[in-house]
Amino acid sequence: MKNGLGMNNLFKYDEWLIIEEGFHPELNREAESIFSIGNGHMGQRANFEENYSGDSLQGSYVAGVYYPDKTRVGWWKNGYPEYFAKVLNAPKWTGIDLSIDGKTLDLAKSKIGSFTRVLNMKEGYLERSFIYYPSKGKSVEINTRRFLSMADNDLGIIRYSVKSLDFDGSAEFNIYLDGDVRNEDTNYGEKFWKDVFNSAESGAGIITSATLKTDFHVTTGMRYVIHKNGKIIKISPEVISRDGYTANRIKINFKAGDELAIYKYVSVQSSLNHDKNKLVSVVGDRTAFALRTGYTRLFESHRKEWEKIWSASDVVIEGDIAAQQAIRFNIFHLNQTYTGKDERLNIGPKGFTGEKYGGSTYWDTEAFALPFFLKTAPMKVAKNLLIYRYKHLQKSIENGAKLGFRDGAALYPMVTMNGEECHNEWEITFEEIHRNGAIAFAIYNYIRHTGDTGYIAEYGLEVLIGISRFWSQRTTYSENLGKYVILGVTGPNEYENNVNNNWYTNTIAVWTLIYTLRNIADLKKNNPAALKKIISGTSLKVKEETMRWEEITKTMHFPFDEKRKVFLQQDCFLDKELKPAESIPKKERPINQHWSWDRILRSCFIKQADVLQGLYFLEENYDTETIKRNFDFYEPMTVHESSLSACVHSILASRIGNIRKAYELYLRTARLDLDDYNREVSDGLHITSMAGAWLAIVEGFGGMRIISDRVSLNPLIPEQWKSYSFHARFREILFEVKVTTSNIRISNLSDKTLSLRISEKNYEIKGHGDMSDCKENT
């Protein structure tokens, strides 16, 4: 909260729109994050087109382009990564400066009124309108709209209009591209870009910038036209071209009532997709295409792409507009961050909305984002997320070798752009090894959703063997306990470091070993030729290695409290003073912004689901009473200061029938950014946790699971809702579920028959049929 205004009353409730009425410069960074747009290829924070001297985080991002910022730590430890990968603030493409009668528009200084900013989630655009008063008795109406095309993902388009309401005068526009940009988040204050090429001519400009060290080239080109009262006018601009900057400056006279509208067409291409020597010609061709096609047709093709997305992923909530707005906000940002078209790309925790976390890949993808795309997108989208990890297997083996592991043991990175570990906090890099388990579980989750069993032989088993080798070597035998143990780890709850026998880590390690052994046995029976090839390629010593894996699975230590009958987060957890999170004074929340790390580590308070994360992943192995006992023990001590926390708790609360708690936690995860619960939206949004909000509805309230090769549903409905509906996919079958207070209706939107289990009864719904004509199977 700043100057008394909180985020929870900044935006109006609306089913499809995020609306800011009145300009709030003290919350501008937060609004820049909320109103960000993207298309999978690139993204843009909601920075103003015109010059702004107030507080702002400039952010234009190109997927896959990064800089290896040299690691900076106080005490270097063997095994530290050499760098932290940063997704870069790329050259600015949105620039349109405006002066009226010589008075420069700057929202930090200029007199303005009737300011409104709107994010249209249904059609995927950002617009802004306000009145500018350049001097007494003079007023100008400004309207802008921008979108990043989902149909042509290298294109960004802006319509910027200026209308004189009551005077004759002149407008001067400076339409530009600027490569002189920096990241705020740098270890040594360095610039990450160098200028390579620039040119300008009347109506067009182009610049090429290259990253230092990694030598990615990004070429940004623009063309534009200006309309006056709806008709194109000829221009004779001043053409400006210097290192890293190109611009056209135009002065136009107007009369009261005249409207001037700039249509700016931009193409952004990188050397990820084109030869460096051809980038300039490619971008020139693409901006010419955009100019030729025109704003209306470009927008229509973009709008149709969003229509397709919503037809397969929308959630409709009746009776609760705050919940409705929130879930669409989450779905919108997920789909504009990742489209699944390029297996080299992944999903950063901030997506295209900020610099924090470097924009790199974390285990969040496998644990939260993958299930969303499994259920809402064609199979190839989720498969590309898995192939991304498969292609990083060798780098993961190298990561393990740097920490002393051998013989093909793979430690997947906590943070990466290219498979190489680049996180440099020791308790994360060395200890948060549970990330390996999430990647193994993702393979299982993908196959049970898609039925793509061939993935194991083609890609999956190699990854599982590498991960299993890591678990085998990371596990030691305790003579004292007579069991295998895993020492010195950090679990998902990062408010505990260097603990022994984190229950979740031990559990997911054993699960991975069992799953790997099962797949080896399946291939031996069903595809021995493929298994032979994998054994040869991985140099697997089948008898020796698998015997140890089996022994570990049978003799692993799992901390357990016999009195409470709950799994213990780690050894010695009960030595802590156990207190509920509600005992923390409100002024000290979030504790990570008010307490010392020493105090946090000694407390019982939990950042995010840890034991409960394991119960969520492996729910089918535990009965309802076990889940309830653990939920009731751990949730009261959980402060939910990770964006990934509330969603898991909401799903499990639904599982145990605690619908009120499930709703409370759903709303927290769904409106996490809109209401800025953790007071950090200025840094960017929590993209991967947004998938958790969707899962809280579909897997939580909807009770959707995949059991025995069919969809299982056990729906609940919060008392605040009249009804809700969602779309989901199972093995390329798209279907819709609608739940009311009195019934459930399922519609099969595909050609193939859908196998369902609802409240312990099995059904078959024919293609394009619904519950009214379905067949019940016993």
Kindly list the catalytic residues: 494
Give the Cα separation of 250 and 282 in Å (integer): 27
Helix (H, G, I), strand (E, B) or coil at 667: helix
Pairing between strand 710-713 and 754-758? parallel
CB-neighbour burial class of residue 217 (10 A; exposed 0-12, middle 13-18, buried 19+): buried
Class of residue 274 by CB neighbours under 10 A (exposed 0-12, middle 13-18, buried 19+): middle
> Which of 72, 110, 66 has the alpha carbon at shortest distance from 89?
66
Distance (Å, whole) CA 687 – CA 337:
8
Q: Which two tokens stand for residue 622?
A: 């535990």
Give, in order, the Cα–Cα distances in Å from 52 to each of 25, 166, 286, 391: 11, 25, 29, 43
| Separation of CA 314 from chain center | 17
**DSSP string over 672-737:** TTTTTTTS-GGG---HHHHHHHHHIIIIIIS--EEETTEEEE-----TT-SEEEEEEEETTEEEEE
Rounded Cα distance, 412 and 420, in Å: 8
- Distances in Å between the Cα of 735 and the Cα atoms of 271, 323, 690, 752 are 39, 22, 22, 11
Alpha-carbon span 428 to 336, nearest angstrom: 29
Task: Scan for tokens 């050499």, then name that residue.
Answer: 82
d(CA 672, CA 590): 13
Q: With b meaning 16 or more CB within 10 Å and e meaning fewer, what string describes 162-199? A: bbbeebebebbbbbbbbbebebebbeeeeebbebbbbe
For CA atoms 417, 419, 420, 426, the dihedral sign is positive
- Cβ-in-10-Å burial (0-12, 13-18, 19+) of 385 comes to buried
3-state secondary structure of 298: helix
- State the angle between helix axes of 503-526 and 435-450 in degrees (0 to 180), rounded to the nearest 10: 40
Closest CA to 719 of 680, 759, 661, 772: 661
Rounded to an integer, what distance in angstroms lies between the CA atom of residue 392 and that of residue 400? 12
How far is the C-alpha of 699 from the C-alpha of 282, rounded, in Å? 45
Q: Using an 8 Å Cβ cutoff, are 626 and 564 in contact?
A: no
Angle between helix 461-474 and 542-555 (nearest 10) = 60
| φ, ψ dihedrals at 29, nearest 5° | -60, -40
- Measured distance CA(673)–CA(694) in Å, rounded: 14
Tokens of 115: 């300011």
| Rounded distance between C-alpha atoms, residue 738 and residue 724, angstroms | 6
